[in-house]
Amino acid sequence: MHQSYSYHWSKQLLSTNIKWTYVITLICMLVVPTLGQVNMIGRQSQNEGIWVLPAKTAPVIDGDLSDWNMSGRILCFADQQLQDQYSTQVTAMWDEQYLYYAIKWNDPSPLGNMVDPRFNPDTGWKSDCVQLRFMTADQITWIDGWYHLDSKSSVIRITVWDDMTNWRQNKARSLVAPPGKVDLGEGAQQAFTQTESGYIQEMRIPWKMIHRKIPAIKSDMTFRLGMEFLWGDPAGSDKLTHRYADNIQAGITKREFYWNNYRVWGNATLTDQPTVAQRQYSPKSDRLTGPVPIELTLPLDAKIVSLAIDDVTGKRVRNMGGLKVADYTTQTTDKAIKVSIPWDTMADTQWQGNHSKGYHPTSNPVAPGQYTVKALTHSGIDATYEMSFYNPGTPVWDVADTSGAWGADHTTPHLLATSGKRMIVAWELAEGGWGIIGIGENGRKIWSEKRGAKVLAADEQYVYAVPEAFGNLPLPPSIIRLDSATGDYRPFTRDGKTLPFELRLENLFDTSSLGILKTMTVGKKYIALGYEANAIVLLDKTHAGFVRQLNLPTPTALTFSKDGELYAISSNQLCTINQDSGKATPIPTPDLQSPVGLTCDANGNLLTADTGTDSQVKAFTLQGKLAYTCGQQGGRPIRGKYDR
C-alpha cells in the first residue's frame, strides 16, 4: 500500500544574554557525572546472556510464578518509555529433565491470538506469541508458544532444522493442549494467566525436545537462546502492534533477520547458584550537562529547539541542535513552555589533521565574557493522510474482518474466478497483504486469505485453490477450500471425518510423473486438475477423493459448462473432453491463434484470451463460431492513452 503525506512546520527566533565566570565553569565541569548505559542501547534493552537457575523443586505449570526463583530475571523492551505497555520479564530454571521458562508480559490487549493451529500452524507469531530460538550442540529448534483465543487452548509449534546451517530444510509439528489444560504432549506443558498489566506465560520444555542426543545436564552447560516477543493487534488483524528480539551475543546490536541468524542468539547458561545478582537497566542519557543554565521561554507548540551561541563580536562559537524540549522543560503554562538548557561552556568541536594522516577532534572552552543565544523552535513533523495508491480496499488498511486493504505485495493479480455474484481474485503469493480476496457484487472487498494461488476455481458455495509457496520454501502441492461468501476455512470431509485443511495432492493420487500443475476448474460433480505431463485428474468435489485420470496432450486450460461438460485447451486447440474415457473432440475455431485461459459465459459460449496477433478475448459457440470479441483487434500500444 502506497500513501502520500503533507508536512507542516513553524519556527520562531528568541534571544537572551548570558554572563558567567571562568572559575565557575571549571568547578561545574569537574563535578558533572558521565552517564553510562547498563544492559541497554539507547532506550532498548540489550541482554547479552541469561542465567538459568536450578529448580530446587519443579515448579507447577499453572500460570502462577510464586514457586519460581526470580532473581535471574531479565527485562526485555524495545523502548523504555513504553515499558509499561510493551515489555517482558523473563525467568529460566532447570533440572535434569526439563528447562522451565516463564514470561510476565506487559500487554494492553493480552491473550488475543486468533491464529488457529489447525489451519495456520506456522503463523502463530502474527499475534500475541513468544518465539524461542534454541541452538544446542547438535540441533537448532524453534518453539513458538501462544494461547489460541477461540478454542482456549495452549499451543506450541516446534520446528527442527534438518541441517544446522540451512533453515530452509526443516520439519515442523504442533502440540495443542485440550481447552483449559496444560499438557501438550511429549512431556511439554504450557499455562497462561491474565494479569492486570498483561499475562503470564509459563512453559516446561523437555531437554529431549531441543537435543538429538541429550548431554549430561549440569551446571555451566551453555546453549544459545534467542527470544522474540510479539504483541498482536487488539482489533484481531494479523498485523503486529509491537515486536522485540532480545538476548544477543556480546557486542552485537543488530537484530535484522534474528529469527534465522543463530550467530547472534545470546547464551543461556545453567548455574548451580541458588541466586544471582539481579540485572539492572540504565539508559545512556542524551541530555546535555553543564554549569551554565540557558533559560528560555518557548511557544507552547515547541517540540524541538536548536541554539546558536555568539560572542560579543557576533562570531558563532557553539551550535546545539535538535534538542527535545521535553528533556529540559521546567514549567508549562497555558501560553508558553519554560526550559533550562545547560551549557558546558565548550566551543564547537574542531577537526584537525589531513586526509593522509587522518583527522582528530579538539574541543576547547570559550573565553570568559558575554554571549548571546539565539533559539530556533519548531513543532515537530506530522503526517497528514492524503490518499492511497493502487488500493481500493475499504478502508485501505487492514481490519480484523479482513475487508480492508487489497491484495498482495510481491506479485500482480493473475487469476480470476466467479462464485455467484462474487468475484474471486488471486495473486501468486503474498508476504505482506493478501493472496486471495473475495469481492462482492458492489465491487467492494469482503474477505481476504493470506495464501496465494497457483491455480484457482470456484462454484456457488466454495473457492478452491492450490496455494503457492512463498520465497524458497518448496511445499508439496495441496488443495484448500474456502467459503466463497466469508473466506472461512472449509476443510473437505470424508466418511464423517474432517480432512486436513491443506490436503496434499500426493496423498490423493500419484503425482510423481505428472509434472507441473497448470490449471484447475470445478463443475457439478468434479474438480479437474490439468498437468503439463499430458494428464487431467478428476476429484470428487464433495470429499476430494480420486475418481480417475484422463490422458490429454498438454492441457493448459480447463472449464466446466453449466450442464457439467468439460472443455479444455489442448495443444493450442479448443476441445470437448469425455469425462469417462478422456477422449478429446476438437472444436474447429479458425479464428483462434494462441489461446490462454478458458471459461464459459452466461449463454454457454466458451471464452479464451487469444494472445496471437489479434490480442483479444474471444467468445465461441460450442460449434466453434466466433460469437463476439472483447478489446481492440491487434491490442494497444504499450504507451499511450487507454481506449474509452
Mean pLDDT of 581-586: 95
**pLDDT-derived band at 239, boundaries 50, 70, 90:** confident
Q: What is the pLDDT of residues 263-315, one digit of tens each?
A: 999 999 999 999 999 999 988 777 899 999 999 999 999 999 999 999 999 99
User: Is a pLDDT exceeding 50 seen at residue 598?
Assistant: yes
Summarised one tens digit per residue, pLDDT across range 144-154 is 999 999 999 99
pLDDT of residue 471 exceeding 60, the answer is no
Q: What per-residue confidence (pLDDT) applies to 468?
A: 81
What's the average model confidence in pLDDT over 583-597?
94
User: What does the pLDDT read at residue 643?
Assistant: 66
| pLDDT-based confidence at residue 168 (cuts at 50, 70, 90) | confident
Q: What is the mean pLDDT of the chain?
A: 90
CB 351 within 8 A of CB 359: yes
CATH architecture, domain 40-270: Sandwich (2.60)
Q: Are 172 and 163 in contact (CB under 8 A)?
A: no
Show Cβ contacts of residue 192 under 8 Å, excluding neighbours closer than 6 positions. 63, 111, 147, 154, 199, 200, 201, 202
Residue 185 is predicted with a pLDDT of 97
Structural domain boundaries in the chain: 2-35+286-378, 40-270, 510-644
Q: What are the grid coordinates assigned to 61, written together?
A: 505449570
The percent of residues above 90 in pLDDT, for the chain, comes to 77
- The mean pLDDT value for 545-552 works out to 97
- Side-chain half-sphere exposure of 1, counting CA atoms within 13 A: 19
Q: Domain 510-644 adopts which CATH fold?
A: Methylamine Dehydrogenase; Chain H (2.130.10)
Contacts by 177-184, CB closer than 8 A, 24 or more apart: 177/153, 178/153, 179/151, 179/152, 179/153, 180/152, 181/154, 182/61, 182/62, 182/154, 184/154, 184/155, 184/156
Which pLDDT score is estimated for 381? 84
Q: Which pLDDT score, from 0 to 100, does residue 30 have? A: 26
Report the pLDDT averaged over residues 213-240: 93
Could you tell me which residue, 25 or 644, shows the higher pLDDT? 644
Angle formed at CA 240 by CA 235 and CA 242, multiple of 5 degrees: 110
Type and span of the H or E element at 243? strand 242-246
Q: Smallest Cα–Cα separation from 184: which of 192, 170, 193, 174?
A: 174
Task: Tell me: pLDDT of 472 over 70.
Answer: no
Does position 234 have pLDDT exceeding 90, yes or no?
Answer: no
CA-based nearest residue to 565, from 526, 596, 530: 526
Residue 176 three-state SS: strand
| Reported confidence tier of residue 28, pLDDT bands at 50, 70, 90 | very low
Backbone phi and psi for residue 326, each to the nearest 5 degrees, phi listed first: -60, -25
CA angle 526, 527, 530 (to 5 degrees): 125
**pLDDT tens digits, one per residue of 96-128:** 999 999 999 999 999 999 999 999 999 999 999
Q: Which amino acid would we find at residue 510?
A: D
